[in-house]
Chains A and B, each alone.
Chain A
Amino acid sequence: MSYLTKSPWILHYDASSCNGCDIEVLAALTPVYDVERFGIINTGNPKHADIFLVTGSVNEQNREILKNTYDQIPNPKVVIAVGICASSGGIFRECYNVMGGIDKVIPVDVWVPGCAARPESIIDGVVKALGILEEKRKAMKIPAGDTA
């Protein structure tokens, strides 16, 4: 296992969620769930992040922000869509200003269902993402010339 999986730093972005999922993401950092046990730090800065946790259904105005932020995360990186809104737009699917699911804007690696997604669910999602992260790292190495 690489170090990458032992130290996943997350960046959380609220792409127009109702706050339910956001506060659960935050709750995951706090004593009862304490994701720092897995080396997870909430960096707040895309340039330091490995895992992009996105909540919310993405509205018109959020699109470019989401995309910009995603682009500023150095590779390898994974995106986790947290909550039903981020997965499909959820209850707001039919709103005129909603894209419905962040996969409409950036590629998503893991979907965490729930409305709101529970902290345990989020932890599960991150664990699942670590495997994908590791694969991406390997994939990134190969073009660099090593035999691998």
Chain B
Amino acid sequence: MIPEPWAAIVNAVIYLLLAPVVGGLIAGIDRRITARMQGRVGPPLLQPFYDVGKLFEKENLVVTTTQNFYVLSYLVFMAVSGALFFSGGDMLLVIFAFTLSHIFLVLGAYAAFSPYSHVGAERELIQIIAYEPMIIITAAGMYMVTKSFYVSDIVQSAVPIVLYLPGVFIGYLIVLTIKLRKSPFDLSTSHHAHQELVKGVTTDFAGPNLAKIEIAHWYEYVFLLGVVYLFFGFNPLLAIAAIIIAYFLEILIDNTTSRVKWQMTLRSAWLVAGTLGIINLGVLYYLRMVIVP
């Protein structure tokens, strides 16, 4: 079902306004918990906002002016894909818009013609191809359970999706680690200095451009966690709890693993996540089509 247009628009607007706030807070909490896991005090809760505010106060330093365009497009399409998601749109469309936005980020890095950005961009691409299949499988799984690709339908479904899709859920959590740029999969860039790539894909962005990338990340966080919500859509409280637990798990994994290499990332995403997802869907399909036609 297509959602009511006005409701959809209201949701989208709410997302566009609130997601950066929520995303920034998540980032802030993340940094504090991380610090605590390392036996440190950590930065203030609002630190991510300070950072972004700071970046806007800085000079815009670029290698080529086209970088500005790519970064802005990255931000805009990231926001668009999230807005589509929260307005209850078609999951697949959301995924494609999401991919589009990432391509802009990658292109921005390529544009700089710098060794570190370049390697970062290649790795970012490897990451995209690593996680994308799993996300599509997730959408397909949700369709098989709810008979709809529309987020609005999926979220309203009273079916406990996660019970039908446990494999898909675990697979999604694995790719979530990639998406949140957490160790062991923080291949292309990371929050602190990156050991082999300096800053990887964001190396040659400075000031306002970097701020935009950061905001786009916030939009992304909220969207990605929104997908976690869908698995538990039948019970909002449980869903919120699941999001919190999932995120905590991600932080824990981040803090208890070293970064693996790209080969491992690709393999684990395609094989582990893919296999879990595929087996899950296969079983579901079998049950649906063969046992209960």
Contacts and interface: CB of A to CB of B under 8 A. Distances in A.
| A–B proximity contact (CB within 8 A) | yes
A38 B35 CA distance: 13
A50 B203 CA distance: 15
A4 B35 CA distance: 22
Given A3-B57, A4-B57, A76-B58, A39 B50 contact: yes
B113 to A, nearest CB: 14
Interface stretch (B37-45, B132-140, B151-159, B285-293): B37-45
A45 B210 CA distance: 12
11 contacts: A2-B57, A3-B49, A6-B50, A36-B35, A39-B43, A41-B192, A43-B193, A48-B210, A50-B54, A74-B207, A76-B59
Interface in A1-58: 2-4, 6-9, 30-31, 34, 36-39, 41-45, 47-48, 50
A140 interface: yes
Given A7-B53, A34-B40, A37-B41, A74 B192 contact: no
A75 to B, nearest CB: 4
Contact of B61 (A3, A47, A50): A47
A72 interface: yes
Given A7-B47, A74-B61, 20 more contacts: A3-B50, A6-B44, A6-B50, A6-B54, A7-B53, A8-B54, A9-B51, A9-B54, A34-B35, A36-B31, A36-B42, A37-B41, A37-B43, A44-B192, A45-B198, A48-B210, A50-B54, A72-B61, A74-B60, A137-B57
Contacts of B42: 34, 36-37
A72 B206 CA distance: 10
Contact of B41 (A2, A34, A44, A140): A34
Contacts of A48: 199, 202, 206, 210
Contacts of A36: 31, 35, 40-43
A31 B194 contact: no
Contact of A45 (B49, B59, B191, B203): B203
Contacts of B39: 31
B205 interface: yes
A134 B49 CA distance: 18
A36 B41 CA distance: 8
Contact of B193 (A34, A39, A45): A45
A4 B211 CA distance: 13
A31 B54 contact: no
A38 B42 CA distance: 8
B186 interface: no
B204 interface: yes
Contacts of B198: 44-45
